[in-house]
C-alpha cells in the first residue's frame, strides 16, 4: 500500500518546491490526513497531492516531499464521530453502551485536565502572575507563545509569503464551508495575506507587503494558547467576514475603507484573550476590569492591543493613509470590536431591526450598524459551517467554559451557569444558543441579503435539529439509567438481611449488646 501510495503522490507533486503548501485529497476530492489508515489506491482511483500555493517565480526544485506515517489522533476522532453518527442513523438512537464508553472516556479526560486546578491538594497550581503562567489548556502549554514557537512560525510564513495560492483555494476561501483544521498557523497567515490582496487593499491603501507580513506576525504572537479564543478562531472569524463580503457583493455597496475596517476588526477582535470572559474579569476584580471600570474589559483590551501593534511604524498597515482616513478606520475598528461583547447583543440587533425597513447604504449610521452586525455574525458563525468543522470548535469552547467554571469554584466566585461542567452538556449548550441567539441574528442579516439564506441559515437550522435530537437521546438514556438504578436498588433491598432493613432495630440490638459487656457498677 505504501509503495503505490508514494508513487502516485510523488508523480502528482513532482513540481513542488521545499516551501510550497501541499494538501492531500482522496478520490472524492476531500482533503485528508496522511496516516497509516489510508486505504490502498490504484491507477484508476488514486490520491491527489495538490500544490495549493507555490512560488510561480522560482524554478522547480524537484521532489522534496517527506511522507511521515504515524498514529493520527485527530483522524481517528473524526472517524469515531462518523461511526457514531452512522449508528444513530441506522439504529434510531445511540445505544447505551456508547454513552457509557463516552462517559468513562470523558471522566478520565477530566481527571487529566483538571490536575492543574487541584490547588487544595497542593499539587500543581502556580500562583505567580508571570508570563509563563500555565494556561487553562489540557496540554499544559504556556499561556503566551514562546519565542521559539513564534520564530519557527515566522520563518515558515516568510518562506511561504511569496507563494501564489491556487485559484481553487482562492474560491474555496470565499465560502462558509472552508475547513480551517487542515491549515497550519504559517499557512493561515498566507491565507490572511490573500484576503488583503484579493480585496484590493494592498493597491488601494498602498500597504507594503513587508509591513503586512510584520502586522500579521505580531497579531499571531498576541493570540494565546487557549482552547477556543486563539489564532485559529481569529482566522475563522476573518474568513467568514471575507466570505460574507463576497457573497453579499459588499464591494459594490460600501467604500473600500469600510471593508478594510471590517476585515482588520475581525483579525484583531480577540487579541490577547486569556480564556476567561468578562463576568470572570469583573467578579475576580482583575487588572482589566479595574482598568476599564467593568465596561467590556476584554473587548476594550483587544482594541488597545490592536492599536498598540499598529502604533509601531513597521507594523502599521495604515501608515500611508491620510489623517482623516486613519481617524475613520480607528473609530470603525473600535466600534466593531466593542460590538462583539455579547452583553450588547440585544441592543445592537434591535437597532439593526429598526433601520432594516429603510436601510440605506449611503447613510453612515446605517453602515456602522451593518458593520457591527457583520462582525457579530462572523464571530459566532461556527454552526454555519459543515458539522465536521463546527463540532470540534464546540468541543474547544466547552473546554474553555469548563476551565473557567472550575476556576470560579476554586476561587469562591459566582459560577457562570452555562459553563458549569456539572450542569451543561454539548447539546444543551447549543439548542438554546442557536434558537435564541444565532437564528434571530442570522435571519435579520438575511432579510437585508436574501442570498445568505442557503449559506448560513440552512446549515444553522440543520445544526439545531442535530443537537435537538442529541439532547433527546441523552434524556432517553438518562431516563433508562435512572430506571435501571431504581431497579437495582430495589433488588438490593430485597436481598438485604432483615435486621439491616430496620436501622432503629439494629441500633437497639447493638445498644443491648454494649450494655451486656459493661462491667458491673460498684
Annotated binding site: 229-233, 269-270, 379, 430
Q: Which among 19, 213, 229, 366 is annotated as catalytic?
A: 229
Distance CA 394, CA 466 (A): 13
- On whether the CB atoms of residues 345 and 437 are closer than 8 A, the answer is yes
What three-state secondary structure class fits 164?
A: strand
DSSP 8-class letter at 321: S
Question: Which residues are annotated binding-site positions for AMP?
Answer: 229-233, 270, 379, 430
| C-alpha cell recorded at residue 15 | 513540481
Distance CA 506, CA 492 (A): 18
- On whether the CB atoms of residues 484 and 97 are closer than 8 A, the answer is no
User: Residue 167: which of 142, 185, 146, 194 has the closest Cα?
Assistant: 194
Q: How far is CA 474 from CA 395, 434, 461, in A?
A: 17, 18, 20
- On whether the CB atoms of residues 375 and 339 are closer than 8 A, the answer is yes
The dihedrals phi and psi of 277, each to the nearest 5 degrees, come to -80, -175
User: Residue 256: which of 206, 334, 204, 324 has the closest Cα?
Assistant: 204
What are residue 45's DSSP bridge partners? 42
Distance CA 391, CA 376 (A): 20
Torsion 294-295-298-303 (CA) sign = negative
Q: Is 229 a catalytic residue?
A: yes
Question: Which residues are annotated binding-site positions for Zn(2+)?
Answer: 233, 269-270, 379
Beta-strand relationship, 164-165 and 48-54: antiparallel
Task: Classify 304 in phi/psi space as left (phi over 0), alpha (psi -120 to 50) or beta.
Answer: alpha
Distance CA 423, CA 366 (A): 41
| C-alpha cell recorded at residue 34 | 496522511
- So which residues are the catalytic ones? 229
Amino acid at each position: 500500500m505504501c509503495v503505490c501510495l508514494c508513487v502516485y503522490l510523488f508523480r502528482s507533486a513532482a513540481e513542488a518546491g521545499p516551501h510550497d503548501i501541499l494538501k492531500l485529497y482522496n478520490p472524492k476530492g476531500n482533503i485528508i490526513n496522511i496516516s497509516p489508515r489510508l486505504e490502498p489506491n490504484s491507477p484508476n482511483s488514486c490520491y491527489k497531492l495538490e500544490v495549493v500555493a507555490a512560488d510561480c517565480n522560482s524554478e522547480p526544485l524537484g521532489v522534496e516531499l517527506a511522507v511521515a506515517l504515524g498514529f493520527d489522533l485527530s483522524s481517528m476522532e473524526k472517524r469515531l464521530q462518523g461511526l457514531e453518527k452512522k449508528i444513530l442513523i441506522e439504529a434510531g438512537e445511540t445505544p447505551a453502551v456508547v454513552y457509557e464508553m463516552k462517559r468513562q472516556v470523558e471522566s478520565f479526560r477530566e481527571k487529566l485536565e483538571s490536575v492543574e486546578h487541584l490547588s487544595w491538594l497542593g499539587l500543581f497550581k502556580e500562583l505567580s502572575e508571570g508570563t509563563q503562567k500555565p494556561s487553562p489548556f489540557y496540554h499544559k502549554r504556556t499561556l503566551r507563545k514562546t519565542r521559539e514557537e513564534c520564530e519557527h512560525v515566522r520563518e515558515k510564513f516568510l518562506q511561504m509569503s511569496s507563494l501564489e495560492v491556487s485559484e481553487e483555494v482562492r474560491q474555496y476561501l470565499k465560502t462558509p464551508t472552508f475547513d480551517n483544521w487542515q491549515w497550519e498557523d504559517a499557512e493561515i497567515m498566507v491565507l490572511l495575506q490573500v484576503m488583503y490582496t484579493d480585496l484590493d487593499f494592498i493597491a488601494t491603501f498602498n500597504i507594503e507587503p513587508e509591513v503586512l507580513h510584520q502586522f500579521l506576525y505580531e497579531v499571531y504572537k498576541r493570540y494565546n494558547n487557549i482552547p477556543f479564543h486563539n489564532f485559529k478562531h481569529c482566522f475563522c472569524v476573518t474568513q467568514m467576514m471575507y466570505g460574507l463580503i463576497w457573497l453579499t457583493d459588499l464591494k459594490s455597496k460600501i467604500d473600500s475603507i469600510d471593508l478594510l475596517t471590517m476585515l482588520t476588526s475581525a483579525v484583531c477582535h480577540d487579541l490577547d484573550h486569556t480564556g476567561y470572559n468578562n463576568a470572570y474579569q469583573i467578579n475576580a476584580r482583575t487588572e482589566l476590569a479595574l482598568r476599564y471600570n467593568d465596561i467590556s474589559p476584554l473587548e476594550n483590551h483587544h482594541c488597545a492591543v490592536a492599536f498598540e501593534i499598529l502604533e509601531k511604524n513597521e507594523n502599521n498597515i495604515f501608515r500611508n493613509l491620510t489623517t482623516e482616513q486613519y481617524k475613520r478606520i480607528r473609530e470603525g475598528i473600535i466600534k466593531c470590536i466593542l460590538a462583539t461583547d455579547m452583553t450588547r447583543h440585544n441592543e445592537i440587533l434591535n437597532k439593526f431591526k429598526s433601520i432594516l425597513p429603510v436601510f440605506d447604504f449611503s447613510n453612515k449610521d446605517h453602515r456602522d450598524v451593518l458593520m457591527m452586525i457583520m462582525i457579530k455574525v462572523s464571530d459566532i458563525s461556527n454552526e454555519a459551517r459543515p458539522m465536521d468543522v463546527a463540532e470540534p470548535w464546540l468541543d474547544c469552547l466547552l473546554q474553555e467554559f469548563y476551565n473557567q467554571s472550575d476556576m470560579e469554584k476554586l476561587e469562591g466566585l459566582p459560577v457562570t451557569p452555562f459553563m458549569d461542567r456539572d450542569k451543561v452538556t454539548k447539546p444543551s449548550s447549543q439548542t438554546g444558543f442557536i434558537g435564541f441567539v444565532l437564528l434571530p441574528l442570522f435571519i435579520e442579516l438575511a432579510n437585508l441579503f436574501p442570498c445568505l439564506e442557503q449559506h448560513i441559515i440552512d446549515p444553522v437550522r440543520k445544526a439545531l435539529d442535530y443537537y435537538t435530537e442529541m439532547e433527546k437521546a441523552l434524556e432517553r438514556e438518562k431516563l433508562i439509567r435512572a430506571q435501571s438504578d431504581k431497579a437495582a436498588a430495589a433488588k438490593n433491598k430485597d436481598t438485604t438481611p432483615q435486621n439491616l432493613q430496620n436501622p432503629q432495630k439494629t441500633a437497639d440490638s447493638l445498644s443491648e449488646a454494649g450494655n451486656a459487656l459493661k462491667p458491673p457498677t460498684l
